[in-house]
Structure 1
Amino acid sequence: MTNQELAADVQDFRAWRNHLYQALGSRRCSVMELLDSLSSNLQASSVAALSLNPLFRRDYNSLYKGIQDFLPTPSHPDYPKAIDDLFSVVSATVPDPVERHFYLFGVDATPCPRPYSATLSDKSYIYQPNTIKGNKPVNIGHSYSVVAALPEASETGNVSWAIPLSGQRVSADKKDIDVAQTQLTTIYHHESAPWKDKLSVLVADSLYSQRAFLNQQVNEDNLVSIIRVKSNRVFYRKFIPSDSPKKSSGHPRWYGDRFDLKDETTWSQPDEVFQSTFTTKRGRNLNLKISGWNQLLMKGTKEYKMHKYPFRLLQVMVSDDMGKSVWKHIWLIVIGSRRHELSLQDCHQAYGQRYDLEHFFRFGKQKLLMTTYFTPEINHEENWFQLTLLAYVNLWQARKLATVLPRPWEGYLTQTESLKVTPSLVQRDFYRIISSLGTPAQSPKRRGYSPGRIKGEKKEPRTRHKVIKKQPFCKNQKSQVS
């Protein structure tokens, strides 16, 4: 990197941090130092311990006050403006696509377990993967839906980066797909979004292959959704009437022959096939085959008329030199009015980046204390989750200024790999970056000590809340999943 490029990156980083500082709102100085403390954290395992970081020049009580007053409550009239200001800051960090002709987004939900928080309200039974085989993947707590932009490899150096654009808690009376729809609608049509009126692609796992979710996404003119589907689904070919017109009474036919993903005899010859070979990091040569079928339909309902929205169905298979499948093949649906602008290879590579969200969640929980803040107030927990997302964006913006600092046992790392810096390596060098560039936060001014609680005063005990168990799906809801 030349001196001119370094100076330009420093100027961009400072300008972005000034923009972030102005968008933080109440207690911005405390919040800004808290973000820097979190972004450079290497030792703290609790939120209170972040106050010991040299970048946080205030007391630990200022840390908690910054979290509590970071955002107004959702019912407050200033809440939408505060969220819009933060989104404008974060969306400015999304780079324009260069190698591909579309913006790429991913959506997923992550659990925030709170099994022992009896005074925390709106808890429900949530899905949480369990490493012990045979145990049910269930816990008690909250769930958060996250929508992130997935930058291309030329920007990340083939490192798993994701830029979180929106994080919202899934309340007990809603489902993950309901919250995701609200987030995506806001993101697509936001005035400050650089991808507005441009081709965008959304990737998601099989949870989002329900009609209730897809029926909303297909209404976006410039959006193509690539969603994984389970291998037990049944689709239908689009019915093509015969050349000889026949007068018949009754409802017109929409669906043709069955396409059962479990029954290979119902498959026809694919309309498109893409084959290639690739080498894994361990030097193993594998074969990739992508088969595509066009104009398929899924059964709809009175509310969701899915016969109006045909899609492409892709089958991805990976085999070795002997032709034996290495992994279980996956099925993808590509739906949207501009789906034919994507090649089979584009669809496969785009969906492959969905797993960057998993790396983001793991890093957030292990290094950014995403689920470590324990509080009986829901809005305080939501504020902390938003702060962890901003801390990750803070690292993303500082990646070009970071220097690789390998540990004695990390001989595989070199200081010349500036384009292949991971979030952990940026966090390791973030203290040096801020120490040399400074912070827009003002120095603290001591105002004495609070008198504290009056002697003899007793606070009323907090209300204990029961765990909410969501009602099972009715028959109509179950039919939407099939």
Structure 2
Amino acid sequence: MFYNNPPAPEPHTKGRPRRHGTRHECANPDTWPEPDRTHTTHDNRYGTITINAWDGLHPKLGRKKGSRWADFDQPPIIAGTVISVSVDHLPKNVASNNKTLWLWATSPHQVDIDLAARAYLRRFDIEHTFRFIKNTLGWTTPSVCTREQADRWTQMIAADYTQLRLAKPLAEDHRLPWEKPQPPNKLTPARTRRDFRRLRPALINPARPPKSQTPGPGRPKGTRTGPRPRHPPIKRAA
């Protein structure tokens, strides 16, 4: 549920000014005014896509314990754009007949409603990418001490993921017994990784020659290193 801005109070009106105007209920079409913007496009998977947008709407924020605005005397008014995305059909047969998607976006500039709708459909790709680089490539496995080390490790993980994407046309499908066969141009990074051992000798190695395995001189005798710096943990706001 969203709200419009309240009308300006009349002169000599007593009491606190209203913070919320008329309601905009996504489930009640009677509360929808005429959209401020409308965009129509076509997609091979969804058919005709109709996007309606209402600007200047805001949600009602609460001050529950542990929430983002718990320490505020009064939650702020954050205006944004409510976007309604309607399609002709869904890619798969589902039990629900509702083919309308509701989004809310806020930006210092005017929201591109077509870009916002298409970006939301990509959220599954983004979530699976983070899951893959965490569980398979080990993004969160090492215990780094500094932010610089974390940045370098993240850059290495991004380079590894890019190599898997680029090697997709060259890889062979080594599928598990319960997996369906896929053409080479449809392999996922996880399947490409299974064949990367065969591809690696044929690839150009940009790394420098390996260093000698002879142990170095080590730390000078009598020197001590202090405890490593501690940083406060970063917690996600509720």
TM-score between the two structures when normalised by the length of structure 2: 0.61
State how far apart, in whole Å, the 2-side matches of 1:386 and 1:322 are: 40
**Once the 2 structures are TM-superposed, how far is the Cα of residue 337 of structure 1 from its aligned partner?**
5.7
C-alpha spacing 1:378/1:312, structure 2 compared with 1 (3 Å):
closer
Aligned to 2:57: 298
Structure number with greater CO (CA < 8 Å, separation at least 6) is: 1
Aligned to 1:260: 24
Name structure 1 gaps, 5 residues minimum: 1-231, 240-248, 250-256, 280-286, 300-305, 474-482
Equivalent residues of 1:370, 1:388 under 8 A apart: yes
Equivalent residues of 1:290, 1:314 under 8 A apart: no
* 1:390 maps onto 2:156 in alignment: no
Partner of 2:209, secondary structure, is coil
**Once the 2 structures are TM-superposed, how far is the Cα of residue 430 of structure 1 from its aligned partner?**
1.7
**Once the 2 structures are TM-superposed, how far is the Cα of residue 374 of structure 1 from its aligned partner?**
0.6
Q: Which has the higher helix share?
A: 1
Counterpart residue identity of residue 184, structure 2: S
Counterpart residue identity of residue 297, structure 1: G
Aligned to 2:197: 431
Aligned to 1:26: none
State how far apart, in whole Å, the 1-side matches of 2:224 and 2:101 are: 60
Name structure 2 gaps, 5 residues minimum: 12-20, 59-77
**Once the 2 structures are TM-superposed, how far is the Cα of residue 421 of structure 1 from its aligned partner?**
1.0
Partner of 2:197, secondary structure, is helix
Comparing 355-364 and 386-395, the one that deviates more:
386-395
**Once the 2 structures are TM-superposed, how far is the Cα of residue 434 of structure 1 from its aligned partner?**
2.1
* 1:314 maps onto 2:88 in alignment: no
Equivalent residues of 2:24, 2:32 under 8 A apart: yes
Equivalent residues of 2:2, 2:57 under 8 A apart: no
C-alpha spacing 1:404/1:466, structure 2 compared with 1 (3 Å):
closer
**Once the 2 structures are TM-superposed, how far is the Cα of residue 330 of structure 1 from its aligned partner?**
3.8
Aligned to 1:331: 102
State how far apart, in whole Å, the 2-side matches of 1:268 and 1:376 are: 54
Match of 1:375 among 100, 119, 144: 144
- Residues 125-140 of structure 1: pairs in structure 2 closer than 5 A: none
Counterpart residue identity of residue 31, structure 2: T
> Across the two proteins, how many residue pairs are aligned to each other?
203
**Deviation string, structure 1 residues 158-201 (Cα, Å, up to 9, x no partner):** xxxxxxxxxxxxxxxxxxxxxxxxxxxxxxxxxxxxxxxxxxxx
Identity across the alignment (%): 25
Equivalent residues of 2:51, 2:86 under 8 A apart: no
State how far apart, in whole Å, the 1-side matches of 2:53 and 2:168 are: 41
**Once the 2 structures are TM-superposed, how far is the Cα of residue 367 of structure 1 from its aligned partner?**
1.1
C-alpha spacing 1:434/1:381, structure 2 compared with 1 (3 Å):
same
Counterpart residue identity of residue 293, structure 1: N
Partner of 2:227, secondary structure, is coil
* 1:450 maps onto 2:221 in alignment: no
Equivalent residues of 1:291, 1:315 under 8 A apart: yes
Equivalent residues of 2:38, 2:51 under 8 A apart: yes
State how far apart, in whole Å, the 1-side matches of 2:94 and 2:143 are: 53
State how far apart, in whole Å, the 2-side matches of 1:266 and 1:441 are: 63
C-alpha spacing 1:367/1:259, structure 2 compared with 1 (3 Å):
same
State how far apart, in whole Å, the 2-side matches of 1:294 and 1:462 are: 52
**Deviation string, structure 1 residues 11-40 (Cα, Å, up to 9, x no partner):** xxxxxxxxxxxxxxxxxxxxxxxxxxxxxx
Counterpart residue identity of residue 377, structure 1: T
* 1:364 maps onto 2:129 in alignment: no
**Once the 2 structures are TM-superposed, how far is the Cα of residue 373 of structure 1 from its aligned partner?**
1.1
State how far apart, in whole Å, the 2-side matches of 1:456 and 1:259 are: 73
Counterpart residue identity of residue 394, structure 1: Q
Greater Cα radius of gyration, structure 1 or 2: 2
Aligned to 2:63: none
- Aligned-CA RMSD value: 4.7
State how far apart, in whole Å, the 2-side matches of 1:311 and 1:397 are: 38
**Once the 2 structures are TM-superposed, how far is the Cα of residue 233 of structure 1 from its aligned partner?**
3.0
Match of 1:420 among 186, 189, 214: 186
Equivalent residues of 1:233, 1:261 under 8 A apart: yes
**Once the 2 structures are TM-superposed, how far is the Cα of residue 378 of structure 1 from its aligned partner?**
2.4
TM-score between the two structures when normalised by the length of structure 1: 0.34
Partner of 2:217, secondary structure, is coil
Q: Which has the higher strand share?
A: 1
**Once the 2 structures are TM-superposed, how far is the Cα of residue 405 of structure 1 from its aligned partner?**
1.9
C-alpha spacing 1:393/1:465, structure 2 compared with 1 (3 Å):
closer
C-alpha spacing 1:393/1:419, structure 2 compared with 1 (3 Å):
same
